[in-house]
Structure 1
Amino acid sequence: MTLKKLTVLAMLGIMYLALPFFVQAQTNSAFDRGLFVHKTDTLPYRILFPKKFNPTQKYPLILVLHGAGERGSDNEAQLAYGPKLFLNDTIRQNYPAIVVYPQCPKDSYWSNVNIDTTSGKRIFRFQEGGEPTRAMNALLGLVDQLLDKPYVNDKQVYVGGLSMGGMGTFEILRRKPKIFAAAFTICGGDNTNNAEKYAKKVPLWIFHGAKDSVVPFDHSQVMVDAIKAAGGDPKFTVYPNDDHNSWDDAFAEPQLIPWLFSHSK
């Protein structure tokens, strides 16, 4: 990493070595490392800046929430799915944006959901309301911090996620519906009673595999129905032969990024 890049990142609030809470980015990754810290809340994240980034300009912000298998503190595992889309040269040229991948701690969860495995199958019970999890509380703090940056366009803030991250996407929309211009969820779910909080405020594109053996397809179907009943008009894409890894097809959708960028507050 060059001195020039270190200087620019320091200006942006992504500090390296000067504070113990931040670690130096790996030179073999386009995603820089950062750590949100506020009181007892901490949240590692990776951040991708546009090519030819100019801190005097404003850029859209995209938050991507990972699944349960990528939880931890290595600030690496959360990049397992999706980065290729955002690193695509055509996407970066035509849709310059700041992309952030936060990492949920191993002992937490993005959303308020109880998972019952006593029957041998996963049964998801999504809560209506309730206090945010420790991970969600830190994520909300990180979003506020990012929105304070002069180079973030607060009219074009997007969020999406897969599996646990899809559930977290619904959750953060319920808590902060006025912030997001559009969102996508992949093999996620929510309590249908929460839909009215964001149905008319945030355009949604929902993806799911019809053969999902981990998070049943029904969890997306009932949310589509609930959002429509509450006055929303979500896009819904079902992959008839996909199991839980429907994110492979969702991130390959050529219209996903153009669709996100077509919306602004």
Structure 2
Amino acid sequence: MDPFLVSAHGRPAPVARAGMRVRARLAGASLCAVLACAGGGAAAAAGKVLESQQRYAPTAAQLALVEQYRGAPLEDFSEAVFDAGKTDMPYRLLAPARPVAGERYPLVVFFHSSGGIGDDNLKPMTAFTRLWAAPDVRRSFPAYVVVPQTRDRSANYINDTHGLRVSQPGAPLADVLALVDELMRRHPIDPARVYALGFSMGASAAMDAAVARPGLFAAMVALSGVPPERSLARSVAHVPTLLIHGDYDQENAYVGAQVWAEELAAAGGRPRFITYVGMDHRVPPQLFTDGAWRQWLFEQRKPR
């Protein structure tokens, strides 16, 4: 399913919010306020979930921008293949537009959804991925952006003892992490600013990757994913996390993200949680024009 196709829904089903013990509800607040941009991180004290609601109501201009980038050219994303040992893995890499000698840059690892599985080095290049090559985005957020393509699922789902669907790393996830290590050796990448980003299966894989390598990522943005088993939250509570989910998502349950946010907070974390009211399983087009989430991401650094 293309996460950007617009469809008409009925009214969203009631959402269970049981167990969200600590929250700061900021209904209608701007993304920047929710995310405590520009150094305002103290607004989200350790051990709390900073939660917000946004109405899923994309404008015509936002939808037009999605269509524009769905077919945007890919010449800025170089094609390559990573030798992962038993197999190889195609990937695309976007470099900073005007790199400065001696400077190190962030690395954004883009984990694709199940619709990107294959070996054509093309399916993962959605409109949301291609947006990183937009001139204003490259100018404001210079970084390396890598988009690996796995030939199988990078995250698999099972039910936990509570009957909640949880994620476990798929076999290709180790290859993605090996590619990240290789890129960090070959390019001027700041090890304190490696970020994970993903939608659906990609969000699940991003969270699994953080569990597998808890010291690797400075922050992550997970959209409509299935989190790992809740007891694993304590190992990644220190990783700044932004969870974005539609409360009408019937593919990857909204409640799973709620439980994960609660467990991160219980372990001392400071997760951000943005609910798009009335949205099903998709990336909200609003993220194309509101750069606050990207600003928040790039402000995160691992302690030296």
TM-score in terms of structure 2 length: 0.69
Q: Following the alignment from structure 1 to structure 2, what is the Cα–Cα distance between the partners of residues 263 and 28? A: 28
The DSSP-based 3-state class of the residue aligned with 2:125 is helix
The equivalent of 2:211 in structure 1 is 174
Please tell me whether residue 53 in structure 1 is matched to residue 96 in structure 2.
no
The DSSP-based 3-state class of the residue aligned with 1:109 is coil
2:74 and 2:130 in contact (8 A); partners too: no
**Cα offset, 1:114, TM superposition:** 3.4
What do you get for the CA RMSD once the two structures are aligned? 2.0
Farther-moved stretch of structure 1 (250-259 vs 88-97): 250-259
Decide which of 111, 126, 138 is 2:155's aligned counterpart. 111
**Cα offset, 1:96, TM superposition:** 0.4
The DSSP-based 3-state class of the residue aligned with 1:77 is coil
Q: Following the alignment from structure 2 to structure 1, what is the Cα–Cα distance between the partners of residues 195 and 258? A: 22
Structure 1 moving runs of 4+ over 4 Å: none
The equivalent of 1:199 in structure 2 is 237
Aligned AA for 1:113?
Y
1:186 and 1:247 in contact (8 A); partners too: no
Aligned AA for 2:237?
A
1:203-238 deviation digits (Å, cap 9, x = unpaired): 000000111121111111111111111110111000
The equivalent of 1:33 in structure 2 is 79
Give % identity: 29
The DSSP-based 3-state class of the residue aligned with 1:96 is coil
Gaps of 5+ in 2: 1-72
Aligned AA for 1:170?
M
Q: Following the alignment from structure 1 to structure 2, what is the Cα–Cα distance between the partners of residues 263 and 149? A: 23
Q: Following the alignment from structure 1 to structure 2, what is the Cα–Cα distance between the partners of residues 211 and 112? A: 22
Gaps of 5+ in 1: 1-26, 116-122
Q: Following the alignment from structure 2 to structure 1, what is the Cα–Cα distance between the partners of residues 208 and 251? A: 19
1:109 and 1:133 in contact (8 A); partners too: yes
TM-score in terms of structure 1 length: 0.79
Please tell me whether residue 218 in structure 1 is matched to residue 255 in structure 2.
yes
1:211 and 1:217 in contact (8 A); partners too: yes
Q: Following the alignment from structure 2 to structure 1, what is the Cα–Cα distance between the partners of residues 230 and 131? A: 30
Counterparts in 2 of 1:264 and 1:113: CA distance versus 1, 3 Å: same
* Equivalent residues, number: 226
The equivalent of 2:199 in structure 1 is 162
2:226 and 2:253 in contact (8 A); partners too: no
The equivalent of 1:126 in structure 2 is 166
